[in-house]
Amino acid sequence: MTTELLELVPRYGAWLIGIVTFLSCLAVPVPASLFMMTAGGFVASGDLAAVQTVGAALMGAVLGDQMGYVIGRHGGGPFLDVLRRSPKRGKMVDRAVAYLHRRGWLGVFLSRWLFSPLGPWINLAGGAAGLHWRAFTQAGIMGELVWVTVYVGLGWGFSGHLVELADLLGNASGFLAALAVTVGLGFWLRAALHHGGGHPGHKH
């Protein structure tokens, strides 16, 4: 798998990274984080441009979030009920709904990077629940920026050891969380101050 990724990334560049992050935010099982780390390694070697790579990854992720939100918004509760017919998807939907209810916009932010498996389901649940679009979008962009920056940065910093790094992160997700907290905390505090510490509500 890793060898194939190393061959695909420099060939298709930023377009591939953008498509992969877009699909991952719609619950398509693609290894987006590994793609971004691989791209970061090629940024370090000069084969890919940093701005285009980060920009494409961020744009793909944000567009995927928006697409999931729109699907949830128009499908509403009945759409979530259809997803619940599958035990596996239903479990993720229920977790996402409960987490979003407890955390609101902060849950959107954290699900972009710290609790990323919930991310696509938070998108759908947020749209179905009528979470305010602006709050969803702002929190989503900040969270995706953390996600993209951390993974591309890891690939850049450990460009000679991508296979070992991928194995480490796959077996110790807490390591990534601890590393990302430093970056994410700054965005979280900025957003909290901007919103006056409030909790974005739902549209009435």
Would you state the structure tokens that stand for residue 41, as one six-digit string?
Answer: 């390694």
What CA–CA distance (Å, rounded) separates 74 from 124?
Answer: 10
What CA–CA distance (Å, rounded) separates 44 from 69?
Answer: 34
What CA–CA distance (Å, rounded) separates 105 from 191?
Answer: 10
DSSP, collapsed to helix, strand or coil, labels residue 118 as helix
What CA–CA distance (Å, rounded) separates 140 from 136?
Answer: 6
Q: Report domain extents, the chain.
A: 2-194
DSSP, collapsed to helix, strand or coil, labels residue 202 as strand
Element (H, E) at 53: helix 50-83
Phi, psi of 127 (to 5 degrees): -65, -45
pTM value is: 0.81
Q: How many beta carbons lie within 10 A of that of residue 134, not counting itself?
A: 10
Q: Which residues contact 201 (CB under 8 A, 6 or more apart)?
A: 104, 132
Phi, psi of 202 (to 5 degrees): -95, 155
- Residues belonging to the chain: 204
Question: Over its length of 204 residues, how does the chain's per-residue pLDDT go in tens digits?
Answer: 556 766 888 889 999 999 999 999 999 999 898 899 889 989 998 999 999 999 999 999 999 999 999 999 999 999 999 999 999 999 999 999 999 999 888 999 999 988 899 999 999 999 999 999 999 999 999 999 999 998 999 889 887 776 666 665 555 444 455 455 545 555 555 555 555 544 444 443
